[in-house]
Amino acid sequence: MAYRETEKMRQRKAEARQRIIECTWACVSEGGFRSARITRIAALAGVATGTIYRHFESREDLFAEIFRLATQREVDKVAEALTVGESTVQRLENALRQFATRALKGPMKAWALIAEPVDPKVEEERLVYRKAYASLFEQAIQDGIAEGCLPDQDARLTSTCLVGAISESLVGPLSPTQTKTPPGHENNDNDLVETIVCFCIRGLTGTRS
Amino acid sequence: MAYRETEKMRQRKAEARQRIIECTWACVSEGGFRSARITRIAALAGVATGTIYRHFESREDLFAEIFRLATQREVDKVAEALTVGESTVQRLENALRQFATRALKGPMKAWALIAEPVDPKVEEERLVYRKAYASLFEQAIQDGIAEGCLPDQDARLTSTCLVGAISESLVGPLSPTQTKTPPGHENNDNDLVETIVCFCIRGLTGTRS
């Protein structure tokens, strides 16, 4: 009788794949992509390193997959935040605030997704996802122009200005080599978010928010 | 008699190094880092590939050096542009315009320096140079606050917003996969630069420029 993959085997394989993904993300969340070693991931997931390469062609392919899954979650959060607020400007503020606040709450994760120097294969994904964020903002800016609450502008271009401003301004604060917030300055994060949001909204509206 | 490097040999070595650097930059200018192959660089420079590895430990080290040299030239241009203008806002506008205009005039070079997915070693340099641009802007913003022509703000943070906005908004237009400007739309570049500069200045000043 020819070898046939049983339902049970398929299920076991899918579970192993899921465990590999979860353990990789756990490693990345702790120390970024650089520190996520295949041997460590395999140990955490309880599989042989060879098993990982049966599921993913290379370390870079595994990382690209992790990057996509984790970033898609963040894109969804921004999309969700863009539905909340009375005016388009408030919705945009809400989405920018959401992005920055979430990043600062999970600085290592956010550093890995936004700024950590990574393999070109993962960096390619970053370019794709920056476009995804920009598309969301672009739609909102276009709505704002149509409603008359934003001045006429090249929404595609200014949406990328938003993406750039918000991610680049977080690079320093998120950097693992950055000195930690000294005690008594815990409000810094809040000021930081408000400064970034204010810059972005001013950039779009031309008025102080 | 022990082997001693003569003055002439040292000079010949320095010349070879310089030629390698120039030929690498020529390749990068033409097709980005990805397309700059060591065999091609060696052929252009008229040296054996082994010679390249006597001067640079690896392809990544060579690229990091090229990146530093080319980006430093751009940083210097921005620094220079920041000295020209009657007010701080005009000087900032001038510098932002200079950065964007130079990028759009040499799109492949700028793509390689700003956005091309590269080896983490080169990406590390990118982070360093983004800080260099930000420091220049930060100083100018602080001057503007002191002079009263910019509202009080966290200059360190808003300087990174500028760096992010101007580089991210150029990524699409510079991308080699981007469709070229159709004939009759050659003014697009100018509109593009003005939109980006306007967003940035609005972000800093809170007024329409």
Yes or no, beta carbons of B120 and A117 under 8 Å apart? yes
CATH number for domain A67-205, candidates 1.10.357.10, 2.40.30.10, 1.10.287.1400, 3.40.190.10: 1.10.357.10
B182 has a pLDDT exceeding 60? no
B193 has a pLDDT exceeding 70? yes
pLDDT at A53: 96
B141 has a pLDDT exceeding 70? yes
Please tell me the distance in Å from B201's CA to the nearest CA on chain A.
Answer: 7
Q: Which of residues 106-135 of B touch A (CB under 8 A)?
A: 115, 117-121, 123-124, 126-127, 130-131
B209 has a pLDDT exceeding 50? no
State what percent of residues in chain B have pLDDT above 70: 92
Q: By three-state DSSP, how is residue A207 classified?
A: coil
B151 has a pLDDT exceeding 60? yes
Please tell me the distance in Å from A114's CA to the nearest CA on chain B.
Answer: 12
Please tell me the distance in Å from B150's CA to the nearest CA on chain A.
Answer: 12
Q: Which of A10-14, A23-27, A165-169, A198-202 has the lowest mean pLDDT?
A: A10-14
Q: Are B159 and A172 in contact (CB under 8 A)?
A: no
Partners of A199 on chain B (C-beta within 8 Å) are: 153, 157-158, 161, 203-204
How sure is the predictor about B6, in pLDDT bands with cuts at 50, 70 and 90?
Answer: confident
Q: Report CA dihedral (B168, B174, B179, B183) to the nearest 10 degrees.
A: 120
d(CA A26, CA A32): 9
CATH of domain B1-56: 1.10.10.60
Q: Find the mean pLDDT for residues A58-70.
A: 96
Yes or no, beta carbons of A165 and B164 under 8 Å apart? yes
CA dihedral over B64, B26, B112, B105, signed as positive or negative: positive
Q: Find the mean pLDDT for residues A75-83.
A: 97
pLDDT, mean over chain A: 92
In this structure, which amino acid lies at residue B124? E
Tens digits of per-residue pLDDT, B90-136? 999 999 999 999 999 999 999 999 999 999 999 999 999 999 999 99
Q: Which of residues 131-170 of A touch B (CB under 8 A)?
A: 131, 151, 153-154, 156-158, 160-169
Model ipTM? Answer: 0.90
Yes or no, beta carbons of B161 and A169 under 8 Å apart? yes
In this structure, which amino acid lies at residue B152? D
Hey, is the C-beta of B176 within 8 angstroms of any chain A C-beta? no
How sure is the predictor about A177, in pLDDT bands with cuts at 50, 70 and 90?
Answer: confident
Yes or no, beta carbons of B168 and A171 under 8 Å apart? no
A186 has a pLDDT exceeding 60? no
Q: Find the mean pLDDT for residues A4-26.
A: 92
**Which of A121, A160, A165 is nearest residue B172 as measured by Cβ atoms?**
A160
* Both tokens assigned to A47: 């599989």
Please tell me the distance in Å from A102's CA to the nearest CA on chain B.
Answer: 18
Partners of B123 on chain A (C-beta within 8 Å) are: 117-118, 123
Tens digits of per-residue pLDDT, B59-99? 999 999 999 999 999 999 999 999 999 999 999 999 999 99
So where are chain A's domains? Answer: 1-56, 67-205
Q: Tokens 């200045």 map to which residue?
A: B201
* A12-49 exposure pattern, b = at least 16 Cβ within 10 A, e = fewer: eeeebbebbbebbbebbeebbbeebebebbbebbebee
Partners of B154 on chain A (C-beta within 8 Å) are: 191-192, 195
d(CA B72, CA B202): 28
Q: Find the mean pLDDT for residues A52-65.
A: 96
Task: Name the residue in chain B with its Cα closest to that of A200.
Answer: B203
Partners of A125 on chain B (C-beta within 8 Å) are: none
d(CA A182, CA B196): 36
Yes or no, beta carbons of A206 and B203 under 8 Å apart? no
Tens digits of per-residue pLDDT, B12-39? 999 999 999 999 999 999 999 999 999 9
Q: Find the mean pLDDT for residues A26-39.
A: 95
pLDDT at A209: 46
Fold topology of B60-205 = Tetracycline Repressor; domain 2 (1.10.357)
pLDDT at B184: 56
Using CA atoms, how far residue A21 sits from A35, A134, A182, B13, B121, in Å, is: 15, 27, 35, 49, 26
In this structure, which amino acid lies at residue B65? E
